[in-house]
Amino acid sequence: MWLSCSSVGRKFVMALTGACLVLFVTFHCVMNAVAICWPAAYNSICEFLGANWYALIASVGLAFLFILHIIYALILTVQNRKARGNVRYSIEKRPKNVEWSSKNMLVLGIVVLAFLVVHLIQFWAKMQLQEIRGVEGAIPPAAGTLFIQEAFSLVWTPIVYIIGFVALWFHMNHGFWSMFQSCGWDNEVWIGRLKKIGCWWVSIVIALFVAQAIVFTVKAHDKDYLKDPVLREQYKDMIPAMIEKDFGPDAAQLGQQIRMSSYDQVSQGIRQMEAGMRQQAEQMAAPEAQEYLKNNPAAAEQFKEVQERAKGLTRVVAFFDYLEAGDNQPEMNVIEVNQPN
Ligand code: HEM
């Protein structure tokens, strides 16, 4: 097949997948801007996309593009090295127009890939993958801002991200115009123009990513995403989905009550409910109660239900504890002491 067998075909695949990835990165940068300007809207988008079929198709398509891009990059590199033998460049003196990034596309790509692995572990694995696996995490998958809070409160996150962004700048800056060249656009004047357009495009996107990483780091350290009252109302509305499995048919009614109440009311109410159910579960776990349950299958069934519900509520209480961990911490007051003259 031309696309896989000929060198031009392979370069064309690199260019096409590269173009799609540039568009994805640009779109992703815009999404991050939404997280900064309208964090509640960002969470609504995360909830809307979730693990729905359309989001899954997009993710599989994206993974396919990344994999194809990487495989073809490796094939082209091996092919080029074979053609050149031990000499990396056929001309002894470095040609002026061969930029540093063009000679290091593979290394830059590996740095970007390493960043991507860390990034996907921090976000995608805890959001979409969690939903696909049906595993209950400590944070609801729709709370995108809380995953930003978690990631950027770690000291090393902004450092790793900025290293990734710098590598991505060099990688995309070279890739942008060379993809046009690979498609046969070899006009001297136009390549010059495309280099300028590419440099501006990539620089704006990467500068925005750097600025976003700084804003997220500052906000995470101020615990903004935990304390914001509008976001807290939104996190509260994610609780019905957290307890859906444990409460069975009663989940709908409890969910409605939660949605109609304020964050503080729900936080208090759930804590009380959990304490009551936990106590009930403890009483029923006593040896005398166990004896009774053995002879009463209906009561034993009810006990199992209470246990399940108590477990679900304990998870919700842990979530509230996490959100409220930074509340009411006394500020360090500087007490002025009047020194006698
Ligand atoms: C400040 C920088 C960034 C932040 C805060 C950020 C945030 C996020 C978040 C929250 C998700 C999860 C979305 C979901 O699964 O619903 C995600 C996914 C992803 N991000 Fe980033 N991102 C950043 C930079 C980047 C960069 C530079 C790249 C590319 C090199 C990238 C590539 C990806 C990919 C491939 C996914 C998986 C998308 C999917 O499966 O649909 N991210 N990111």
Domain layout of the chain by residue ranges: 2-224, 237-324
Is the C-beta atom of 49 inside 6 A of ligand 1? yes
**CA-nearest residue, atom 14 of ligand 1:** 124
Is the C-beta atom of 217 inside 6 A of ligand 1? no
Is the distance from CB of 16 to CB of 202 less than 8 angstroms? no
Which of these, 58, 70, 72, lies nearest to 24 by C-alpha position? 58
Which of these, 266, 275, 226, 225, lies nearest to 242 by C-alpha position? 266
Query: Given ligand 1 and candidates 124, 208, 210, which is best to mutate, with the most ligand atoms within 8 Å of its CB?
Result: 124
DSSP 261: S
**CA-nearest residue, atom 37 of ligand 1:** 124
Index of the ligand 1 atom closest to the CA of residue 55: 41
Q: Is the pLDDT of residue 85 over 70?
A: no
Model pTM score: 0.85
Q: pLDDT digits over 182-237, tens only?
A: 777 777 788 888 889 999 999 999 999 999 999 999 999 999 999 999 999 999 99
What backbone phi and psi angles, to 5 degrees, belong to 85? 70, -135
Is the C-beta atom of 116 inside 6 A of ligand 1? yes
Which of these, 75, 84, 67, 78, lies nearest to 4 by C-alpha position? 75
Other Cβ atoms within 10 Å of 313 Cβ, number: 25
Q: pLDDT digits over 102-158, tens only?
A: 778 888 889 999 999 999 999 999 999 988 888 888 899 999 999 999 999 999 999
- Please tell me which residue, 84 or 24, carries the higher pLDDT value: 24
Ligand 1 centroid to Cα of residue 170, in Å, is 19
Q: Identify the sign of the CA torsion 57, 62, 68, 74.
A: negative
Q: In whole angstroms, what is the distance from residue 41 CA to residue 45 CA?
A: 6
pLDDT band at 327 (very low <50, low <70, confident <90, very high): confident
Index of the ligand 1 atom closest to the CA of residue 165: 27
Contacts of 141 (CB under 8 A, 6+ apart): 46, 50, 51, 126, 127, 128, 130, 131
Q: Identify the sign of the CA torsion 40, 45, 46, 50.
A: positive
CATH tag, 2-224: 1.20.1300.10
Q: Computed over its alpha carbons, how large is the radius of gyration of the chain?
A: 27
